[in-house]
Chains A and B, each alone.
Chain A
Amino acid sequence: AQKITQTQPGMFVQEKEAVTLDCTYDTSDPSYGLFWYKQPSSGEMIFLIYQGSYDQQNATEGRYSLNFQKARKSANLVISASQLGDSAMYFCAMRDELISNFGNEKLTFGTGTRLTIIP
């Protein structure tokens, strides 16, 4: 079974500062993918970034980067130069990527971190 742990229920960060949102995971699957989603107050889940377990480099997407430490089973999200619009819930998620399970990209989510950017 897969498990995602997000230990920060809430964070307050000054605008323009960088912020790191923690995520640790547990899985016995040899191949897996890690995701971060943003959920603003409107409720929609917005995909931010993806990291494959066999990717050699950390994923980056604009101001978002994923600090992937496989041996520690952590996949922290780093947001550089935070903006007021970054205030939202952030969810870490993972999925099994075994070939035998191809076709079912079911995601397992953490409980989320509520990020508030202070002007």
Chain B
Amino acid sequence: GAGVSQSPSNKVTEKGKDVELRCDPISGHTALYWYRQSLGQGLEFLIYFQGNSAPDKSGLPSDRFSAERTGGSVSTLTIQRTQQEDSAVYLCASSYLAANYGYTFGSGTRLTVV
């Protein structure tokens, strides 16, 4: 597609339930990043993919968070046993190697845990 697509755009879930967030990057972009933006805060790095491998998972806040990428394309971020502090906007970005123009971001998934 022309841009980075994320789904769903909004998700409300009950505390304790699992959620899956999807990111469809720009075709041909080998690098994919997940970030989290809590209300009024900057972006917090979660995980980086190069192709299907994740050489940097240093930002995942707990073992309830996991992510995978298949076919060097679509990525899924899974949060198990959601907590209220997981409420945030989850942003995905993709890039073609060391692009000076930075990444292309998606519009994000707003997750609300009630």
Nearest B residue to A48, CB-CB: B102
Residues of A within 8 A of B41 (CB): 111-112
Do A106 and B33 form a contact, CB below 8 Å, given A42-B107, A45-B105, A47-B101?
Answer: yes
Cβ of B101: which chain A residues have Cβ within 8 Å of it? 47, 50
- Report how many residues on chain B are interfacial, defined by Cβ distance under 8 Å: 30
Q: How many chain A residues have a CB neighbour from B under 8 Å?
A: 26
Report whether A107 and B100 are in contact in the complex, using a CB–CB cutoff of 8 Å: no
B2 on interface, CB distance cutoff 8 Å: no
A47: which of B50, B91, B103 is its contact (CB, 8 Å)?
B103
A54 at the interface (CB under 8 A from B): no
Report if A50-B100 is in contact (Cβ < 8 Å); known contacts: A42-B107, A43-B108, A112-B42.
yes
Which of B50, B93, B98 is A45 in contact with, Cβ under 8 Å? Answer: B93
What is the distance, in angstroms, from B21's C-beta to the closest C-beta of chain A? 14
- B residues less than 8 Å from A112 (CB atoms): 41-42
Chain B nearest Cβ from A105, distance in angstroms? 6
Contact between A104 and B102, CB atoms less than 8 A apart: no
The interface residues of chain B lying within 8 Å CB-to-CB of A45 are: 43, 91, 93, 103, 105
- Across the interface, which residues of B come within 8 angstroms of A4, CB to CB? 42
A105 and B107 contact, CB distance less than 8 A: no
Cβ–Cβ < 8 Å partners of A46 in chain B: 105
B residues near A (Cβ < 8 Å) are 31, 33, 35, 40-45, 48, 50, 55-56, 89, 91, 93, 95, 97-108, 110
| Cross-chain pairs A/B with CB under 8 angstroms, 12 sampled | A37-B102, A43-B107, A43-B110, A47-B102, A93-B102, A103-B55, A104-B31, A104-B48, A105-B102, A107-B45, A109-B35, A110-B42
Residues of A within 8 A of B (CB): 4, 33, 35, 37, 42-47, 50, 52, 91, 93, 97, 102-112
